[in-house]
Amino acid sequence: MTETAQQIAPEADTRRNLLDLGTKELEAAIADLGKERFRAQQLLLWVYDKGVDDFMEMSNVSKDFRRGLAERFKIELPRVAREQRSKDGTVKWLFEVAGGDRIESVLIPEDDRITLCVSSQVGCAIGCKFCATALLGLKRNLETWEIVGQILHAKRMVTELYGEDRRLSNIVFMGMVEPLQNWENLKSVISLLQSDFAFKLSSRKITVSSSGLIPGLKKLGAESDVNLALSLNASTDEQRSQIMPPNRKWNMAELRKALEEFPLPNRRKITIEYVMLAGFNDQVADAKRLASYLRGLEVKVNLIPFNEFDEVDWKRPDDATVVRFQNILINSGYNAMVRKTRGNDIDAACGMLQRRGDPQARKKAG
């Protein structure tokens, strides 16, 4: 009878989750076991490429090594508490992670790509006034395995939903959270995403979205080559401070300097995200000020008409206002796109994650 890793596990399971190890950490762990570096590459291929969760099924690894791995490590993904599918094809998962905490991630299929919007914290501390996740407050940062597990589940589901010829092509760290507050764990996840033995994604396919925490932006630029999306959402400091508390610490002049200094690989641009709130930041004067503020920066602009929800009074601007704003930016020389709302019927649209996903957490936050 063939043994399984679960049968080999000690009674009191104190094993570390293998998904908690980035590429360098995994290589170090394998070296501690007296094995060569290429064994780490074999493990990455089995877990992330072939989707094997049991060490004893890894047939090109010696039985003794497999037993040693099973005694020290486990492979566990977050539990899927609920799956919702939108009429537009968007899929949202509510995951249960350590301690019973719950997080959400969203799969967005398109003709030329399949994008996963990933969470890296439980709740969010930033407090943006137009975001449902802000109502929760921040409980904690997610561990590496809790982030990787969302991606690995989505990768497997893409094959199940769309067939072997489609693959998870883009990752956006946006979801619930301020990713740069969890940079060390995020960096480990990015190492797996870029590994030729794991997710095999180029840096062009990975985006980190931030509210503009300048120390975090500096780390992101210095320690990785992935894309940056900056959530700006205002054309003046007065506006931005009203809806985005980080602006009270790092104003728009300081933020612009950080953007000027952010290293960009050839032909890359920073994405400027701009949530449009009716009557607040969507007027002609706002568009002109935004165009002036961005002058000289390598950027493209992503306009996001507000997705309304009951807990706040903000409203979505009408289509004519959005188009007028977009045209001012285009005529000023910018690539300005309007983000198409996806998954609105399952609260999966931008700014709506965890609106109904975890009522207990929302009750505590309120």
Structure confidence by residue, pLDDT tens digits, 178-189: 999 999 999 999
CA atoms of 68 and 64, how far apart (whole Å): 6
| 3-state SS class at 201 | coil
Where in the sequence numbering do the catalytic residues fall?
104, 350
- Radius of gyration of the chain from its Cα atoms, rounded to whole angstroms: 22
CA atoms of 44 and 61, how far apart (whole Å): 12
User: What pLDDT shows up at residue 133?
Assistant: 74
> What is the per-residue pLDDT across 131-178, written as a single tens digit (0 to 9) for each?
877 777 889 999 999 999 999 999 999 999 999 899 999 999 985 579
CA 162 from centroid of its chain's CA atoms: 22
Contact 223, 190 (CB under 8 A): no
User: What pLDDT shows up at residue 364?
Assistant: 40
pTM for the predicted model, two decimal places: 0.91
**Span 62-68, average pLDDT:** 93
Beta bridge partners of 231: 273
Whether the pLDDT of residue 34 is over 80: the answer is yes
**Span 256-262, average pLDDT:** 98
Contact 280, 314 (CB under 8 A): yes
CA atoms of 254 and 148, how far apart (whole Å): 33
> What is the per-residue pLDDT across 190-243, written as a single tens digit (0 to 9) for each?
999 999 999 999 999 999 999 999 999 999 999 999 999 999 999 999 999 999
Helices (H), 3-86: 5-8, 23-32, 37-44, 63-72
Closest CA to 189 of 204, 175, 208, 210: 208
> What is the per-residue pLDDT across 263-313, written as a single tens digit (0 to 9) for each?
998 889 999 999 999 999 999 999 999 999 999 999 999 999 998 887 888
* Mean pLDDT, the chain, whole residue set: 91
Query: Which domains does the chain possess?
Result: 5-74 (1.10.150.530), 79-365 (3.20.20.70)
CA atoms of 346 and 84, how far apart (whole Å): 7
